[in-house]
Amino acid sequence: MDTVTEPEPLFDLEPAQAAGPDFAELAGLPFDELMAPDWAAALAGVEAELRSVLTFLAAESAAGHRVLPSASNVLRAFQQPLDGVRVLIVGQDPYPTPGHAVGLAFSVDAGTRPIPRSLANIYKELASDLGLPPRIHGDLGAWADQGVLLLNRVLSVREGAAGSHRGKGWETITTAAVTAVVGRRTAEGITAPLVAVLWGKDAEGVRPLLGSTPVVASAHPSPLSASRGFFGSRPFSRANALLTEQGGGPVDWELPAVPPQLRPRSLG
């Protein structure tokens, strides 16, 4: 998301979630259990700040405020290895509608209907850019599995209150995350292919952290700004071209018609 917050549907049912730790339990877990091992090593310098934010979320929850996404998803962006990141897409903060936020910027749970309008615009541009069919679901997990880091600048929100967890410490942590991604681009003298995709002014705020990383920038896909430079920006083909120029392989941006968690189980 970005500073522009569009209304979201009010009547979606939140999908069932597997039982997991609450925020108080999360704050007490060993650091290397919170995320992939290489992310834990890279973010060790902000461990105290992360634990402080998680303690704040536990207090929010104890006070009766619903925090989104769930504790089991709040650090989902760091579950895939840092070493595999090759495209960085920066968002603002999670969707404030129950059932939408899943810990990946712009993505929603596979069962959410209708999908948020910013994501619908992303699908329109994907179809225009690469000719790929829009999906009725909003699960972008297949992108994350290929090394697309869908990172919000702020990783939590109070239900119904967009931007409510800004200034609580997340910015320090996500700044460290972007710095870590950029730092491994030239680690040990080997340049790892990397492209940053920046949509909107909040995303543009990380540009000073990117160094020589190639950037694809445009307006945000929000309905209020998509027509002012997002549509027609061809971010997906441009990102792939930049990856190829650096000696990397392209991302397969086509999402599955039916995400894994919605596929019927085989009877055989």
Phi, psi dihedrals of residue 243, rounded to the nearest 5° = -65, -45
CA distance 219 to 167: 24
CA distance 205 to 260: 34
Q: Which of 2, 22, 38, 93 is catalytic?
A: 93
With contact defined as beta carbons under 8 Å apart, do 73 and 102 qualify?
A: yes
CA distance 242 to 196: 10
Residue 105 identity (one-letter amino acid): A
Q: What does the radius of gyration of the chain's CA atoms come to, in whole angstroms?
A: 18
Phi, psi dihedrals of residue 62, rounded to the nearest 5° = -65, -30
With contact defined as beta carbons under 8 Å apart, do 131 and 241 qualify?
A: no
Q: Please confirm, yes or no, whether 12 is among the known catalytic residues.
A: no
With contact defined as beta carbons under 8 Å apart, do 91 and 151 qualify?
A: yes
CA distance 153 to 169: 10
Cross-strand pairs, 67: 158
**Would you please indicate which residues are annotated as catalytic (active-site) residues?**
93
